[in-house]
Amino acid sequence: MRESTSAQIEEEAQRLYGLLGNVTDFKTGCKYTLEHCRAAAPLTLAANNLKKENDAVILAHYYCAPEIVYGVADFKGDSYALAKKAAEFDGRNIIFCGVYFMAQTAKIVNPNKRVYLPPISAGCSLADGIDAETVSELKNKYPAAAFVCYINSTAEVKALCDVCVTSSNVYDITAALPNRQIVFIPDLFMADNIRAELKKRGVDKEILSFGATCCVHDKYTVRDVEELRAAHPLVKIISHPECPLAVCEISDYCGSTSGMLDYVKKSDAKEFAVLSEDGIVNSLELENPSKKFYAVSRACAQMKRNTLNNIVGVLKNIDTAPQVEVSCDTAQKARKCIDNMFKMAGKK
Ligand code: 13P
Ligand code: SF4
């Protein structure tokens, strides 16, 4: 690959600054600077050139840094949209900027592609929160239950479940299942939110939950909401269903990452406080320049392990970089679980 000239780097820095100048860098609390963009420019240029040379697509979750999401990604999205994009990809290499369970899902839905996660060991407190052995024991204990896993789970766990869900379809899918008893894993807080939402919809289900919580969203409190409302009386509070139920219940909107983007876009309000990962705040700032955002800043440390440097590193060494692998048997079973989600989510 040819090195970029200084004129090309400056042009790229200006392009990035034009995009990111209104976005908060939560490491400093200040807006992105031209200097920041100048530092990123050689790497975004390299990544954008190398991905073409390598027949690669870059998929990025909204929680990655904005220079990735808006600087090099071909597609940005929440976990559902990215799983769909991965399934449709026709080229050779998928560079998945996210965490391990997301890249595993990409490999499962498109097994003939080479899938890379730039920080290959980036994990998730939810996916780590329950293992296949525990799920097998639960299946023996609750033979009449439907087993529903959040997409934030390992391939081995998905292989044992009937259907997986994301935050964008969890309520519709759990409501539509024929079983009255549902074992939902591994997000304990999302399970609380499912119980509350299905009750509101008049749907009679018994939701049993096992697993863990998201180490980013589980930190938000009712006090955060009260303080934000006291400081900004006109603010609309938006939260993700991985937050505690008490927080979601008093939010103006609680929903998936794509749901939050839609809510803000359509709302006439001018001020929002976001109880979710910093990356979604950045996307909201970027896509709604006339609206103001307050954040109780929380970063997912695992998502932030995706960097322009490790993306370029993978692209430069595409034949030797470690790939995401899922054993054939596990992948086939997990695929059924994911396909059931695609089918049920598509029925809406
Ligand atoms: P989304 O399904 O909204 O992308 O959420 C994934 C996630 O990891 C949230 O913490
Ligand atoms: Fe996992 Fe939470 Fe990070 Fe999402 S924000 S990837 S659920 S640890």
The mean per-residue pLDDT over the stretch 288-317 comes to 97
CA of 137 to the centre of ligand 2 (A): 25
The pick from 79, 117, 254 for probing ligand 1's pocket by mutation, whose C-beta has the most ligand atoms within 8 angstroms, reads 79
Is the Cβ atom of 256 under 6 angstroms away from ligand 1?
yes
Among 161, 152, 84, 159, which Cα is nearest to 123's? 152
pLDDT tens track for 133-159 = 999 999 999 999 999 999 999 999 999
- pTM of the full structure: 0.96
pLDDT tens track for 39-63 = 999 999 999 999 999 999 999 999 9
79 Cα nearest atom in ligand 1: 4
Diameter over CA atoms, the chain? 66
